[in-house]
Structure 1
């Protein structure tokens, strides 16, 4: 991926992969092209047998069979060639027709029929093989049920999922697939989320504590209550309240984005497209020159013409045209089946070339569920007063640290009454302000105080803060009006699987892995040590994270792994942006190049491994496709006939497609 990559996800519609994507259904169903190709083969064999085995037979009889083979074998090829010529493109299908017409002009009807038969058969089998990868994508869209049981007053009616409205209450019986995205309002169960997130084990689910709050603030609903269409209910009956229409469910978005990924070209594909645009005219020029070989070589024009047609067949880059698209499609389909959304060939290829990964700390390397570890009131301040003010303000925010203070602070206060704050305002990367009892409350990092017009902390406060910093705590200072109340220390828990996932990435050859965080350097280093990272960059505001990624990109390709929301600028700056836990985040689905649907860091090593395997298969396919052309062109110039050239030419095309399909069976063996 180029250094000026800006993650513009506008869908770049490709050309038709040099003629390899034309429609191949028809009056005989979706396999019409295959039936026509086989019919062409039957007619070819019949004509050849009559010509060779029945002496004295009128010549028009085998010719009629050859013409039938021409018609059946060239039917779809002619259609595609006409479409290309209308667009002023002279591509592979057209080259094949010119060669077949040339063979007919020489009276080599059998060889011309063989060319069209094998070309059409190769196309049909190629479409069948590519269809397997596409069906793996389409199968995702068939996971959600067609109907849902909806509660309407006292009645329960069955309705098509397309008619579900936001706020409908849907009844889901045990062992059924869920028809909609939403949150549970009644019943407990475990749900198999593998169809959406790729998680191998069912996830326990329970109802939301306050449905009214869940309706007004969807972001406040925890993953233990959120459910997705297409997932499979366990042994408990549940009721869910829908939060999206059927066309906007997470599953529908994944299917749509994976389908669109097929149209977005990888760097290798863009290279091969440019190569073809130069190579095809060169082939035509070489063919034209060879037509006049009889001028300098003592041979009849007929032989020169035959050789030119053989070279035309040999040099047509069919295998090259399909080498990369087939691998990209298979890789994207395999990733989707594992709960990983990859938006096209560019991130799929680029992820396999990274030599550094930057991780956001909160929610990526850690659980994203910090706990209060220390409550330190400043001199003359009561602990309960500190907590009351902090809880009153942080209840208004959905930031993970705010939620931790509101939750744990309420628990520590017991039954103490907490007043209601108002006018919450976020100071990005620093903290928040709000109004309480007619005075302004500041809650944020120690660095917020003494900057941007906020008065500084006094010496005793700074001393208490420094003591907590040495313990690696994340710190939030509370000020109410002109009184500094105290500091609250929090600590996030490292993910249990983080160390193992990082070890796998290290074994794959990822040279550098860095944690970047807005926390104080000491807090960042404490978490980094627990997960096995040797580099941790703390005290980074969102714009500083962007600069950090730019520094890393100066040394090579870098991936940025975060939650896709507050990390979006840094992810956009990286070679590849990877979002974790994207199933519950529309923003993450839209902004990331790669979205790990589950909140599972182990999926990152799987995705990097798949990307590297895809790059390897693309290189193999390029070697085969270019190697066959490099062999056949001089061989046909030196006398190799059209028949053998056709067999090798079409064989190489099928070989690269079936080689790419091996990606559908990829397993993470690390």
Structure 2
């Protein structure tokens, strides 16, 4: 059997956001059904390599070139057929309205999947053979929803694959959604029409009650005012109730209308008008509050400037950021926002990266040494050479060479991913949606039963009817509908402001329920590069002699440990005599000449090769002690004298110990480090930072097995760089990537991305998510508790007026409670 055929997934489905996309499943299913193909699956992205389609096939049935062409043709066909859009939209002021729009879209021919959110974009997957973008826009317009994204060219409706086209990206990057409405239903007063109508309804109710109570005007006057209150308060409620009924749902709006109509039938016009006024003002204020959370996210997209100063062929000109090309030189003056992701070619400055990475201290920037090499692999550069769109330059001028077009900058990708996260429902939200589907019909059944209470209870039909309407108001779960989405959105927005990208309510809730966190060692708990930690002269030698010999020899080597020795020790020696004639002894060390003497640097075995003299026992004891503490060591001999030993270690991050302590204080029961390094090295780092358990000598598959074992004991997160840790992260409850601002792979693979390479952001993320979970629970108990109180209260005589006041009051309290997350502090 030949090796399986592997093809890069981005080449087959160039616009698919990741390997979890539905179109990837369509591709694997189609190819698995191809004659000669035994298995088709996806190999996740890892180590900088993109996700790949892997095909196991029988060469006797299908030839490799034909199979390759078949795969490419299948990818092209799927790309041409299925479109995905992510459109900012106005007209979804609250979650009940968004649910109605979602269900109406899902009933539209050609729509495969749709999800609308009260505070964010609309995400639609559709079959181009059955519908088009223009049809979807018209369907949304019929629902009173305005799409805030540019129209595609006329022939684009049936070409391309809109997983993330410019209309989705740019709109969320701040070019298409700036100045989005707070709560836009549209109308004669524009975006504030619903609020104005609600206020007018209240004015009519207040005037009607005043005239009816304290004056002797004709009854027709207050009645006319109450009718006006019904008209203004019920206008949008009727529209939304009708849309929900067309979608096959009995929403809360419908329940309120029935109660208001019942009050009018009983002649209780004041109470019916008061109900509609409070309900409509609650809607308007709910939209305002949710708009606040949405604007916190939209503010990210507005950070990038609209134009950039570009130098082309020696001439500077202002151009729109959308016209920037990779390789352009952007001139950034002091105190200006940087317009593009790029590499610093000229100049030094300190750049405030807080909007993207959450770092509180500006980061020093300096030019790269080799611009061509830097542009060839920009992601591998140190942070001091890279800049991001939307960050604020300090007092120095910079020349920045663009590495990504405007729609693909780190900021644009973050804003897009946050927008996608807004459409993802959390587990609690899915539960409340299912609960409402059962609860609302049950309420209607109860109300119908109460209408006939007069048959068995000594009261009039009017009294039974009034009680039924009061129960209808009391049992409407308005607060329940908004309890979870308001908290999730506020939590995601607050995290984004501090450089933590949380991809939806699911990861946000899961992060708050962790019992264990596993860490990769290198680059996560440690700095990711070795440092000299010990310089120990041998008996009879001086530190100066040891330093002179080891630095001189290691200057000639390109080994990472050699570079660390030169970097850390060169300034402690004069280096007057250069070494020469370097020879590498594979697996043992190096040899060179320093003046008239031979110098050897390496492991103890290096000195006994060919019958040589071993190092003194005292020096070997020191070498063993250093190794037991996790050091990499190198012994040094010059001529016949042993000069000493140098110890190196990938040192723990300065913040690692404090981070582990904070995580334990937050309730994380177990912290584990999983590493491919030797167990003794892993143990040493674990002791230094306070990790509970260290597991070394692990291959990538072993890391996956370790995470799977931890999941059997509870919820676990995996923290790594999102590249070589991707398989382990994918198997954890939550995958957390560090330094994601510098890595496209990390942005794609993680559930939670710490944009800065700063481990101290992890306790913030865990603390925020735990607070979010707590607020969600508070909101659920508050909303369900109010229903549990009001239903029996109305059964035993509480009127419609007090019931609706308490009902709408609980909704506003729930929203206000969720908005507290926007002010969360560690």
- After TM superposition, give the deviation of residue 55 of structure 1 in Å: 2.2
- CA shift in 2, pair 1:403/1:540, >3 Å: farther
| From 65, 68, 71, the counterpart of 2:228 | 68
What is residue 31 of structure 1 aligned with on the other side?
192
- After TM superposition, give the deviation of residue 416 of structure 1 in Å: 6.7
Q: Distance in 1 between matches of 2:281 and 2:461?
A: 31
2:764 equivalent to 1:594: no
CA contact (8 A) 1:388 1:418 kept: no
CA contact (8 A) 1:191 1:231 kept: yes
- CA shift in 2, pair 1:401/1:245, >3 Å: farther
- CA shift in 2, pair 1:102/1:9, >3 Å: farther
RMSD (Å), alpha carbons: 3.5
Q: Distance in 1 between matches of 2:85 and 2:684?
A: 44
Q: Distance in 2 between matches of 1:350 and 1:198?
A: 22
What is residue 214 of structure 2 aligned with on the other side?
53
What is residue 533 of structure 1 aligned with on the other side?
691
Calculate the TM-score normalised by the size of structure 1. 0.83
Q: Distance in 1 between matches of 2:415 and 2:269?
A: 47
What is residue 176 of structure 2 aligned with on the other side?
none
CA contact (8 A) 1:180 1:242 kept: yes
Q: Which moved more, 1:466-475 or 1:522-531?
A: 466-475
What is residue 501 of structure 1 aligned with on the other side?
659
SS, match of residue 401 in structure 2: strand
What is residue 455 of structure 2 aligned with on the other side?
295
What is residue 27 of structure 2 aligned with on the other side?
none
Q: Which moved more, 1:303-312 or 1:64-73?
A: 64-73
- CA shift in 2, pair 1:250/1:414, >3 Å: farther
- After TM superposition, give the deviation of residue 388 of structure 1 in Å: 11
Alignment of 1:439-458 (within 5 A): none
| From 772, 784, 787, the counterpart of 1:626 | 784
- After TM superposition, give the deviation of residue 47 of structure 1 in Å: 2.2
CA contact (8 A) 1:24 1:124 kept: no
Q: Distance in 2 between matches of 1:105 and 1:12?
A: 47
What is residue 523 of structure 2 aligned with on the other side?
363
- CA shift in 2, pair 1:252/1:148, >3 Å: same
Aligned length: 600
- After TM superposition, give the deviation of residue 94 of structure 1 in Å: 1.2
Q: For 1:159-191, what per-residue CA distance to the aligned partner results, in whole angstroms no more than 9, with x for missing partners?
A: 111111111100000111111110100000111
Q: For 1:60-112, what per-residue CA distance to the aligned partner results, in whole angstroms no more than 9, with x for missing partners?
A: 33222222211111111112112211211111111111111221222222211
Query: Structure 2: 5+ residue runs without aligned partners?
Result: 1-17, 23-83, 87-91, 99-117, 119-144, 146-182, 536-549, 584-602, 604-608, 635-645
- After TM superposition, give the deviation of residue 372 of structure 1 in Å: 7.5
CA contact (8 A) 1:528 1:534 kept: yes
What is residue 425 of structure 2 aligned with on the other side?
265
- After TM superposition, give the deviation of residue 407 of structure 1 in Å: 8.8
| From 348, 361, 369, the counterpart of 1:188 | 348
- After TM superposition, give the deviation of residue 360 of structure 1 in Å: 0.3
Query: Structure 1: 5+ residue runs without aligned partners?
Result: 1-5, 376-382, 395-399, 420-445, 447-456, 477-487
Q: Distance in 2 between matches of 1:330 and 1:217?
A: 37
SS, match of residue 350 in structure 2: strand
Calculate the TM-score normalised by the size of structure 2. 0.68
2:722 equivalent to 1:564: yes
- After TM superposition, give the deviation of residue 417 of structure 1 in Å: 9.6
- CA shift in 2, pair 1:550/1:389, >3 Å: farther
Q: Distance in 1 between matches of 2:555 and 2:272?
A: 88
- CA shift in 2, pair 1:325/1:405, >3 Å: farther
- CA shift in 2, pair 1:360/1:293, >3 Å: same
CA contact (8 A) 1:475 1:490 kept: yes
2:179 equivalent to 1:101: no
What is residue 241 of structure 1 aligned with on the other side?
401
Q: For 1:13-72, what per-residue CA distance to the aligned partner results, in whole angstroms no more than 9, with x for missing partners?
A: 9x9733373863423132221111001111122222233333251x33322222221111
What is residue 270 of structure 2 aligned with on the other side?
110
CA contact (8 A) 1:474 1:519 kept: no
| From 386, 389, 401, the counterpart of 1:229 | 389
Alignment of 1:443-592 (within 5 A): 470=628, 472-473=630-631, 491-592=649-750
What is residue 277 of structure 1 aligned with on the other side?
437
2:180 equivalent to 1:19: no
2:465 equivalent to 1:305: yes
CA contact (8 A) 1:46 1:62 kept: yes
Q: Distance in 2 between matches of 1:134 and 1:349?
A: 19
What is residue 646 of structure 1 aligned with on the other side?
804
Q: Which moved more, 1:249-258 or 1:164-173?
A: 249-258
